[in-house]
Structure 1
Amino acid sequence: MGIIDTHAHVTYKDLVGRIDEIVTNALSHNVTKILCVCCTKEEALKAIEIANQYDIFDCAFGYHPEDVDRLEDHDLSELRSILTDPHMIALGEIGLDYHYTKENKEAQKDLFIRQIQLANELDLPILIHMRDATLDTLEILKQYPCRGIMHCFSGSLETAKICVKLGYYISFAGPLTFKNAKDAPQVCEWVPLDRIFVETDSPFLTPHPFRGKQNEPAYTHITFEKVCEIKQIDAETLMKQMEENYYTLFKKAKRNESN
């Protein structure tokens, strides 16, 4: 039994050359499972290669909303094909992001919906990216039911309650540990244990006190310990519950023999 990082971009250019070190560092901090999240075909194929080498990795692949303008129909066909690999246990990260531009909102929505429909066809959960687009995201999730995780959740308590009611899990990343964290601790305190996860979003959002340095899965333990502190529960209880959540949500995931 160990800590699970449910969202790490280890095939991203800043981390892919350090896989051996990343695995060693993760295991030294009792991080025993890492969900490698990919946003391109090249990353996805590399993730499958890595997962064949290390049991610690599961994989996910989906098209990020910021990439919508470069995608063509054949990209969705390739997505479908790659997701049939046994190491691919989720579709994501997908969603809506209006932070930098709102000019392609309709294209983002269409891509989001098409990927949700694909996830349902393949019986896969989704990993949801929601940035400055709460109302539209929730509206789509209500219209197109699925199951999955609200990745790196930074919304309000009200939004969290809606997401949980819709059947989604809430995942917390490094910002939960930031000294200026506002809504996150309150949301974390409320989220039911059977709906909670932690993640790094490596190489981004490094938790305090390493903020500003490159993030990696080993740092999952910091956010995990913060959740224990906020919810006033012991590490073993939370670890056991998060592991149960993981294998309940991700039907294709296989438990490591060492767990």
Structure 2
Amino acid sequence: MNYKLIDTHAHLTFDRLYSRIDQIIADAKAAGFNKILVICTNLEEFYRAKEYQKKESMIDIALGFHPGDLEDIKPSDLKELEQIISNKEIIAIGEIGLDYHYDHTIADAQKELFIKQIDLANRYGYPILIHMRDATKDTLDILKEHCKTKFLMHCYSGSAETAKIVIKMGGYISFAGPLTFKNARGLLDVPAVVPMDRMFVESDSPFLTPHPFRGKENEPKYVTYTFDKVAELLNVDKKVLADQMQKNYKTFFTL
């Protein structure tokens, strides 16, 4: 294998993965990965990732407050997030966004939290990683009105038409395991409308394990299957695609 891969979204600080993180990292390296972006959704996860980063330079860290954790977030958490950003301890804010899948009634509170974190990103010039579930219109409307920085739609599962809008807005798109599922259908049309210099692949570990490993706990090494699917759909050389994604990572995260 004459190229390297990046997993741009892995929750390695979740207890179920952190308990075996050394093996997960070793397996990712053996599978050809040179970078994993660890996504932290609370401060406890962040400090866990920061401690691990002292011995493993392969990982970068992002931190943001997920809409699903709305009730657990205190005003002091946002102040601490700003301090962490100002100290340059992370490379992105995320994952942040809107999720109406379980409860539409707290939409206004989700929007408020989303906008506060976008404002932080704007103030410090940080890219943001977007969680968008059953909330396409509101998410895009907020980004159009408030976002002045780079943004990435993580684990994209929308339509090709929505992807075109995201690209026109200057956004990036990341593909995960669902692209390999047998019921992927319309999602298979999306890579063709995303320029190669605007795309990433990710695991979203421990969730959404790619085919043929569905049912197993996901981890970064399985991103290889999503990457292969993107290359197949685009009919592009894997090294060309992988090298472009390495460039995209440096460009998007200003590294």
| Cα pair 1:38 1:60 within 8 Å, conserved | yes
Does residue 1:93 correspond to 2:95, yes or no? yes
Q: Does 1:207 align with 2:207?
A: no
Q: Over aligned residues, Cα RMSD in angstroms?
A: 1.0
Task: Please tell me the residue identity of whatever aligns with 1:43.
Answer: E
SS state at 1:36 partner: strand
Partner of 1:257: none
1:176 aligns with 2:165: no
Shift in Å, 1:123: 1.2
Alpha-carbon distance in 2 for matches of 1:85, 1:3: 28
Matches within 5 A, 1:89-238: 89-145=91-147, 146-238=149-241
Identity in percent: 53
Counterpart residue type for residue 175 of structure 1 = P
Deviation of 1:86 (Å): 4.0
8 Å CA contact 1:36, 1:60 repeated in 2: yes
Q: After TM superposition, list the pairs within 5 Å mapping 1:9-20 onto structure 2.
A: 9-20=11-22
Indicate the residue corresponding to 1:51 in structure 2: 53
Match of 1:245 in 2: 248
Q: CA deviation at 1:79?
A: 1.1
String of CA shifts for 1:118-140, please: whole Å, max 9, x gaps: 01112110000000000000000
Using the size of structure 1 for normalisation, the TM-score is 0.95
- Describe the SS at the equivalent of 1:88: coil
Match of 1:81 among 68, 80, 83: 83
Asked whether the equivalents of residues 31 and 221 of structure 1 are also in contact (C-alpha less than 8 Å), the reply is: no
Runs of 4 or more, structure 1, over 4 Å off, are none
**Which stretch has the larger CA shift, 168-177 or 64-73?**
64-73
Per the normalisation by structure 2, the TM-score is: 0.96
Deviations 1:196-240 (A, max 9, x none): 100000000000000010000111111111111000011110011
Residue segments in structure 1 that go unaligned for 5+ positions in a row: 254-259
Matched residue SS, 2:118: helix
- Secondary structure of the residue aligned to 1:92 is strand
Query: Which segment is superposed worse, 199-208 or 47-56?
Result: 47-56
For the residues of structure 1 that align with 2:137 and 2:161, how far apart are their CA atoms? Answer: 12
CA shift at 1:87, angstroms? 4.4
Question: What does the per-residue CA deviation read over 1:147-206, in whole Å, with 9 as the maximum and x for residues that have no partner?
Answer: 121000001111101111111100000000001101211001221101110000000000
- Whole-angstrom distance in 1 between the partners of 2:217 and 2:194: 28
Higher relative contact order (CA 8 A, sep 6+): 1
d(CA) in 2 for partners of 1:178 and 1:131? 18
Task: Give the number of equivalent residue pairs.
Answer: 252
